[in-house]
Amino acid sequence: MASNRHAIGGGSRRQRPRRLASAQTRRKPALQVDPVTAEIIRGAMETIAYEMATHVSLTATTPILNQSNERNATILDASGALAALSVGIPQFMLSSTLPVRFALEFFGCDGLYDGDVLVANDPYHGGGHLPDYNIFAPVFWDGELVLIASIQCHHADTGGGMPGGYNADALDIWAEGVRFPAVKLYEKGIERRDVIYMLQVNNRTPTFLGDLRAQIGAAQLGVRRLKELLSRYGTSQVRAAVAYMIEFAARRFREEVSRWPDGEYESDVYVDHDPKGNPDIHLHCKVTVAGDQLTVDFTGSDTRPEIQAYSSFGNTRGYVVAQLASMMDPTIPKNEGFFRSINLIVPEGCCLNPPPGRSVAAGTHHPGTEVGEAIAKALEAVVPQRCCPQIYKIGMPTVSFGTHPRTGRFFIDNSADTIAAHCSAVYGQDGWGSMNVSFGNLIRATAEINESIFPQRQLARDYITDSGGAGQWRGGLGTLYRKQFTAPVTVYTYVVGRKYPMPGIAGGKPGAPNRLFLRVGGPMEEAGETTRLVHHEAGESIAYHYGGGGGWGDPLDRDPEKVLEDVLDEYVSERSAREDYGVVLTGSLQALDLAVDMDATARLRAELRAARNSRKTQGRETQRRSGSLNSATDASSRGR
């Protein structure tokens, strides 16, 4: 099996444009710019990217875009190198570069014009999965391509065999939906009505055209603003500022890595099962620190040909950068300099860089998100105080679809609803009460809004006691989320995080697992190990017990007074306070007269530590004896 070894700034072997690679090798002499001007220009670009992303939220017509902020904008230079980005979904801001680079190679130096707007969503040309539409526009100044404005959004549908863009039963990528490697929507400022109509008729969402035009408008807005920037500073200064900030990020990255201890750090993490029920999708990660060089190697990850759990290379690349960025100084700019400082090895054919044509609908979530978990677990011993898996354990959104009785129109609910789940603790901070950092500035829609759009009632969003992993800092709690349908709907189910929930770090315990109950109020059943379409009648509900985040540090080191506060808030039960945290409470929760017995707590914690150390000693002795027995058996076998 071939292996891709390259700086993360490039694509995979079949994705990286040859012309771009050679251009990066033969860099032009750096232009001069003072650091203050470079920072001002970077700030201006980040503001433009933020304005582009906000434009989508204000003008799109489908809830997943106009409510959830599931979008991100980026500014790239003429070679496709990332120059600046907005605050958005990390996965998007980090997977927008490769489709642009493919377009630059495909159309060539003379194939793009002022006024062009392009669309791309193909996972095998740099994208994440089909619902993630990247729309981008070149920025010309004095007849020369200088920058590119890009806006990437998750759309509610992609055509194909299943509403919602999550056809985990798809035989291959062609059955998932319509692929657009790089297609012009506008050429020289003129709308290509035939192409836009083709996109419209290949999408089930009634409001898709409004979303598409909102995204096009955002890209065109970015072009106008960037031209204003070029008119003020000139092409040479802007290019010099981009080059300066890229090199600045690379230098800061190397300085950070050089402070880490040299060594090879490995981890193995798993996804419960793929949508077909194939168990234990395996990711192996080896992170090598050598001076100021960092290598992330996924050799040894799952290569079973029967699995249906593939993360595209662009998706994998995005999760690698997102996790590492969360473990480093946040002031390091997230641009091409950060990317190219990571040596990434992802073997072709494994679950993180699939063979051509495989379905990737589910893989953008799992095993995609487990990429961050694998890196966090590998570096747990290196930077534990900055270590927190920036992941989530959902399987896929519980997409529901049907015909709205009020309008008679088809609807798709992507379940971008307000919940709390999977938010792990970090050093010095308990898991907070909503989603983790990996979701960026994703905004979950409120019950009031979604009840006015879809035939549903949202009956519960309650924190689940004891769902946060115990630790010196406690994991965030999961949610009991219950949604009742007021019309017949079909619900698409794929749940993970039941066998492998959110992990603890530095001795913290894992969060509670997920559980999804279907047809509540009717013949109730629990979602199992395979993806299914489950019809629900009006009046029936789904009840999703979202798991909590993992804890950080030894639970017996948690401040007893904080444990008391958690019990009073009903985040932690009195039983868990005693068994997991070793805290002895007097009084009762009902009477609100609980108090910590400090002396009894000290004694109990000493007993729990002694028992734990005894178990560890016994485990090591059992392991030693087993090893000796195996060695003796092997020797005996060789003797025969």
- What's the CA gap between 120 and 161, in Å, rounded? 20
Residue 14 above 70 pLDDT? no
Of 205, 241, 250, the residue nearest 32 (C-alpha): 241
Q: What is the mean pLDDT of residues 17-42?
A: 62
Q: Report the percentage of the chain scoring pLDDT > 90.
A: 68
Q: What is the pLDDT of residue 29?
A: 46
More confident residue, 624 or 411: 411
Residue % of the chain over a pLDDT of 70: 90
State the chain's mean pLDDT as an integer. 89
pLDDT on residue 416:
78
**Model confidence band, residue 151 (pLDDT cutoffs 50, 70, 90):** very high
And the tokens for 409? 């129109």
DSSP H helices, 262-384, are 313-326, 336-340, 370-378
pLDDT digits (tens, 9 = 90+) for 243-300: 999 999 999 999 999 999 999 999 999 999 999 999 999 999 999 999 999 999 999 9
Q: Does position 106 have pLDDT exceeding 90, yes or no? A: yes
Chain segment 465-506, per-residue pLDDT in tens: 999 999 999 999 999 999 999 999 999 999 999 999 999 999
Give, in order, the Cα–Cα distances in Å from 325 to each of 38, 91, 256, 437: 22, 12, 11, 11
Provide the pLDDT confidence category of residue 8 given band limits of 50, 70 and 90: low
Q: Which residue has the tokens 């946060």?
A: 468
pLDDT confidence band for 70 (50 / 70 / 90): confident
Between residues 91 and 319, which one has the greater pLDDT?
319
- 413 closest CA partner among 536, 287, 555: 536
- Rounded to whole angstroms, the Cα distance separating 421 from 480 reads 10
Are 89 and 72 within 8 A, CB to CB? yes
Is the C-alpha dihedral spanning 548, 550, 551, 556 positive or negative? Answer: positive
> Can you tell me the distance from the alpha carbon of 340 to that of 329, in angstroms, rounded to the nearest whole number?
17
DSSP strands (E only) in 379-448:
400-403, 410-413
Please state the rounded mean pLDDT for residues 60-80. 83
Q: How confident is the model at residue 630 (pLDDT cuts 50, 70, 90)?
A: low
- DSSP annotation string for 24-45: HHSPPPPPP--HHHHHHHHHHH
Q: Could you read off the pLDDT of 179-211 as tens digits, one per residue? A: 999 999 999 999 999 999 999 999 988 888 999
Q: What is the mean pLDDT of residues 34-53?
A: 95
Q: Please, is 499 exposed, middle or buried when counting C-beta atoms within 10 Å of its C-beta (0-12, 13-18, 19+)?
A: middle
* Mean pLDDT of the region 560-576: 97
Average pLDDT over residues 165-171: 77
Task: Name the more confident of 359 and 280.
Answer: 280
Question: Are 13 and 360 contacting, i.e. CB atoms less than 8 angstroms apart?
Answer: no
pLDDT tens, position by position, 497-550? 999 999 999 999 999 999 999 999 999 999 998 888 999 999 999 999 999 999
* Bridge partners, 532 (sequence order): 493
Mean pLDDT calculated for residue range 128-136:
89
Q: What whole-number distance in Å separates Cα of residue 234 and Cα of residue 239?
A: 9
For the record, the structure tokens of 442 come out as 């994703």
What pLDDT score was predicted for residue 439?
A: 67
Higher pLDDT, 37 or 359: 37
The pLDDT of 148-165, averaged and rounded, is 86
H or E element in which residue 20 lies:
helix 18-25
